[in-house]
């Protein structure tokens, strides 16, 4: 998820009114330690739902944009489960007859 954070960060921060805000200040405002913030930015720590919520609030975004910038439908795990579900639907329909 850290690559997603970097995408959201670059897309919504760089060149925006947030561009002049220091990383330390953003970490402080989000109540994230600067060390953790730096680790996220350097792909050494993943962004979970709570951190995504804080970062999204800071950037004025929905947390799903931070977690899934390309949409959750584009995630391989989502696609895999949907495909498996689709293969079960005919089986489930037969069982009801």
d(CA 26, CA 44): 18
Verdict on whether the full-model pTM lies above 0.95? no
**Displacement of CA 21 from its chain's centroid (Å):** 21
The verdict on residue 44 lying in a domain is yes
CATH number reported for the structural domain that contains residue 28 in this entry: 1.10.260.40
CA–CA distance, 60 with 91 (Å, rounded to integer):
44
CA-to-CA distance for 33 and 17, rounded, in angstroms?
A: 22
Instruction: Quote the domain boundaries for residue 60.
Output: 2-70
Residue 96 forms part of a structural domain: no
What integer pLDDT is reported at residue 1 of this predicted model? Answer: 45
Quick check: helix, strand or coil at residue 8?
Answer: helix
User: Is residue 47 a contact partner of residue 1, using CB atoms and an 8 Å limit?
Assistant: yes
Position 2 scores a pLDDT of 47
- What's the domain count of the chain? 1
For residue 31, what are the CA distances in angstroms to 27, 40, 76, 91? 6, 14, 31, 49
Q: Is the residue at 51 inside a domain?
A: yes
pLDDT tens digit at each of 97 positions of the chain: 445 556 556 655 555 666 678 888 889 999 999 899 888 878 888 888 999 999 889 888 888 888 888 888 999 999 999 999 999 877 655 655 5
């Amino acid at each position: 998820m850290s690559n997603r954070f970097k995408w959201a960060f670059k897309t919504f921060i760089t060149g925006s009114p947030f561009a002049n805000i220091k990383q330390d200040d953003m970490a402080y405002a989000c109540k994230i330690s600067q060390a953790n913030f730096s680790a996220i930015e350097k792909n050494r720590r993943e962004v979970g739902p709570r951190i995504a919520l804080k970062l999204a609030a800071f950037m004025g975004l929905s947390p799903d944009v931070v977690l899934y910038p390309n949409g959750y439908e584009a995630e391989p795990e989502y696609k895999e489960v949907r495909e498996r579900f689709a293969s079960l639907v005919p089986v489930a329909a037969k069982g009801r007859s």
